[in-house]
Structure 1
């Protein structure tokens, strides 16, 4: 057992993840030893290639504005590990992380003695979350899927509402090489009779979700078919404005402080999920409070402005789907400016595809770089890629200084790629401003 937070964290992070067989048997074994905490709280389960975190943030703020104590389970973290399990946006204190790790440690040791083998890092953290919220800490818990859905460790819950935000090509080595295969994995979160809300999803993937919802006798509510966004416009300040409608409510005008049409879509999915949740649970929600919750929503590292002169933006576009969205947002909002893009990615990503997308942006210059993380693509690996208008700079700090100097105060510097990279750059700026 552990006596300090640091000891507990070291144990969690030292746990081998890779090589574990996917499946829920290890989770089910551990949960059976502690009287099934996953059955003791209301939840909303959120899957999707991109948009999970932002959709969760919109939901959290709307529920909080309506007087709910809201638990969240998210990954990866941006600043501290404790963020992963939060209450009303406040990460758990160190002493709670220590207590929960000590609760899970004997379960992990017991599991190691079975044919199933010990748990993965993500299974340990998920167990900590389930035990914590099983103690009655929140009115509702928003649970973000780690990877996929069907065999994700979080898929032991039966939520009030399931949400699938988007389907794109990511984690193909685990989820499949086609959109329908990936969709089938993510549709694995759909439970019998539990309503499902989906975001903007291509037809070939949506058909898979429709079939699964039908099999599970689950009501399916689809973006642009069952709920709609109209009168969208980008605000002169940072953010978007739009009208939301479905068969039951109309909200107008909605303003959000997050930039990009994809955030409008995420907000719409969150509103529909909240409407369904309130209908299923009898929670009374106030439209004015919904609007104020949406307006206050912020999610770090998603088109996050961290400097004005020059304009410096962080965006964790860590796969092709997200990179395509980022490129569209840049083209719409910064068409008249020079764009300096700094990108660092993981080794397992389709980096060339992401580069090709970024190079469609007019007036842009691309710098590929690396950062301090075991799975980060190295400068040597990046130099093997084809970049038509850009260079590789080994260290991101040098890339940042070069971009800021080149931009001359009038350009836009976009830092993008892995969320772990975004986290490192963000921490650098926060430390500089302390």
Structure 2
């Protein structure tokens, strides 16, 4: 039997060997054995291609500002594995992880002997979260982020108070489909009968699929630029200001500290969900809590400025849409700077389109390898690029130390790509920057 936190985490990660196994049967089997904890929690379910984590954070921060205790289930982690299961933004303890694993492990072994086969890593973590949240004594509500797709995602055994689909992009096409419509069908699988769906999807074909699924489920639908919209948007030096209009009602001059116009859409979805929870009497959320919560919301690794002098930014832009958003912000905000991009990615992404966009905005681009099973080799990324100033590096840790020390006042270092890479690189960058400030 496992006796330490590290042994528990190693066992969870060992489940990666099973890969991705779509379907809900294994989750339903485990939930039945655990007394169906998923049925005992009030939840909001959030899917989409990009923006899920940010929307989770905006909504959590709004609810916290009103004084509620809020659980969140997110993936992947950026700074610490435990943050995937958190309460009021605080990751659960090492001891709690160990105890949860001790409870799930025998079930996983038993399930392995059935025709369903053993649970995947994500299914194990999801099962742990359901049990934890159902037995938490002070929890008011939980916000669940979909892991992959929606229809067959292990979180989709939920029957939430409301569902959110942030947007649709061409990501995980090898699993979810090759068109916006096919991917939208998988994402729309989280829409439940008579349960409202809030969405920022704007691609016409994808939105039509979501509308059709909502109609089949008799689910009220609230669409951006239809039932609600963003008006009077103004980019600030360290965030965004905007108004959310909901028919005859509006919430004026909201501010967020996250950078990018796309974040106003994620924030607007959180506002709509908060208003709905108040409307049905599940919670009571004031406009003051909405304002304070949005302003205080922080989500690591999303256009995050780690240092202003020198200017160092990290951004988990891990697909075509994410890169497009990053490129837009860089070209809008830092057009007068020398932009040095450091990029790492997983080899199963649409790398040619992503790199082509970065080539256009980067004065210098460096491709790096990192230690992850599906990581692309730096040399392979280099071959795709058409930049005149490009480089491939294997030892990214040493390279970043040298590059940061060489940055001048007109330069900006942007480290981007896979969220798995961002989770590795952020603590390293923070140590470099801290040591620089100490030595000054």
Q: Same fold (TM over 0.5)?
A: yes
Please tell me whether residue 142 in structure 1 is matched to residue 151 in structure 2: no
| 376-385 or 56-65: bigger deviation | 376-385
- Where does structure 2 lack aligned partners over 5 or more consecutive residues? 436-440
Match of 1:334 in 2: 334
Q: How far apart, CA to CA, are the structure 2 residues paired with 1:10 and 1:359?
A: 38
Q: How far apart, CA to CA, are the structure 2 residues paired with 1:429 and 1:366?
A: 18
Per the TM alignment, residue 394 of structure 1 is displaced from its structure 2 partner at its CA by 2.6
Match of 1:364 in 2: 363
Match of 1:221 in 2: 222
Please tell me whether residue 186 in structure 1 is matched to residue 191 in structure 2: no
SS in 2 for 1:322: helix
Per the TM alignment, residue 19 of structure 1 is displaced from its structure 2 partner at its CA by 5.0
SS in 2 for 1:342: strand
Per the TM alignment, residue 17 of structure 1 is displaced from its structure 2 partner at its CA by 4.7
Work out whether residues 24 and 156 of structure 1, in 8 Å CA contact, stay in contact via their aligned partners in 2.
yes
SS in 2 for 1:182: helix
Q: How far apart, CA to CA, are the structure 2 residues paired with 1:348 and 1:324?
A: 18
| 61-70 or 282-291: bigger deviation | 282-291
Q: How far apart, CA to CA, are the structure 2 residues paired with 1:132 and 1:24?
A: 19
Q: CA RMSD in A?
A: 1.6
Match of 1:422 in 2: 422
Q: How far apart, CA to CA, are the structure 2 residues paired with 1:94 and 1:394?
A: 32
| 185-194 or 336-345: bigger deviation | 336-345
Q: How far apart, CA to CA, are the structure 1 residues paired with 2:195 and 2:371?
A: 42
Cα deviations by residue, 1:155-182 (Å, 9 ceiling, x for unpaired): 0000000000010011111100111000
Q: How far apart, CA to CA, are the structure 2 residues paired with 1:428 and 1:52?
A: 25
| 262-271 or 239-248: bigger deviation | 239-248
Match of 1:230 in 2: 231
Q: How far apart, CA to CA, are the structure 2 residues paired with 1:399 and 1:206?
A: 44
Match of 1:10 in 2: 10
Match of 1:252 in 2: 252
Match of 1:167 in 2: 168
SS in 2 for 1:117: coil
Per the TM alignment, residue 421 of structure 1 is displaced from its structure 2 partner at its CA by 1.1
Per the TM alignment, residue 375 of structure 1 is displaced from its structure 2 partner at its CA by 1.9
Q: How far apart, CA to CA, are the structure 1 residues paired with 2:239 and 2:52?
A: 19
Per the TM alignment, residue 400 of structure 1 is displaced from its structure 2 partner at its CA by 2.7
Displacement over 3 Å in runs of 4+:
16-21, 401-407
Work out whether residues 340 and 407 of structure 1, in 8 Å CA contact, stay in contact via their aligned partners in 2.
no
Work out whether residues 165 and 201 of structure 2, in 8 Å CA contact, stay in contact via their aligned partners in 1.
no
| 43-52 or 196-205: bigger deviation | 196-205
Q: How far apart, CA to CA, are the structure 2 residues paired with 1:403 and 1:166?
A: 35
Return closer, same or farther for 1:17/1:211 CA change in 2, 3 Å cut-off: farther
Per the TM alignment, residue 96 of structure 1 is displaced from its structure 2 partner at its CA by 0.7
Cα deviations by residue, 1:306-348 (Å, 9 ceiling, x for unpaired): 0112211000000001101111111111122221111011111
Q: How far apart, CA to CA, are the structure 1 residues paired with 2:405 and 2:33?
A: 58
Cα deviations by residue, 1:29-71 (Å, 9 ceiling, x for unpaired): 1111121100001000000100000010000000000111000
Q: How far apart, CA to CA, are the structure 2 residues paired with 1:73 and 1:21?
A: 20
Match of 1:61 in 2: 61
Work out whether residues 42 and 159 of structure 1, in 8 Å CA contact, stay in contact via their aligned partners in 2.
yes
Name the count of aligned residue pairs: 432
Return closer, same or farther for 1:342/1:292 CA change in 2, 3 Å cut-off: same
Work out whether residues 344 and 378 of structure 2, in 8 Å CA contact, stay in contact via their aligned partners in 1.
no
Q: How far apart, CA to CA, are the structure 1 residues paired with 2:317 and 2:97?
A: 29
- Where does structure 1 lack aligned partners over 5 or more consecutive residues? none
Q: How far apart, CA to CA, are the structure 2 residues paired with 1:62 and 1:56?
A: 10
Match of 1:195 in 2: 196
Work out whether residues 342 and 399 of structure 1, in 8 Å CA contact, stay in contact via their aligned partners in 2.
no
Superposed, which structure 2 residues align to 1:2-401 within 5 Å? 2-18=2-18, 21-137=21-137, 138-236=139-237, 238-247=238-247, 249-361=249-361, 364-389=363-388, 390-401=390-401
Per the TM alignment, residue 224 of structure 1 is displaced from its structure 2 partner at its CA by 1.2
Q: How far apart, CA to CA, are the structure 2 residues paired with 1:405 and 1:352?
A: 30
Return closer, same or farther for 1:19/1:326 CA change in 2, 3 Å cut-off: closer
Per the normalisation by structure 1, the TM-score is 0.96
SS in 2 for 1:301: coil
Match of 2:438 in 1: none
Cα deviations by residue, 1:90-144 (Å, 9 ceiling, x for unpaired): 0001111111111111211221121111110110000000001111441110000
SS in 1 for 2:182: helix
Please tell me whether residue 413 in structure 1 is matched to residue 416 in structure 2: no
Work out whether residues 306 and 430 of structure 2, in 8 Å CA contact, stay in contact via their aligned partners in 1.
no
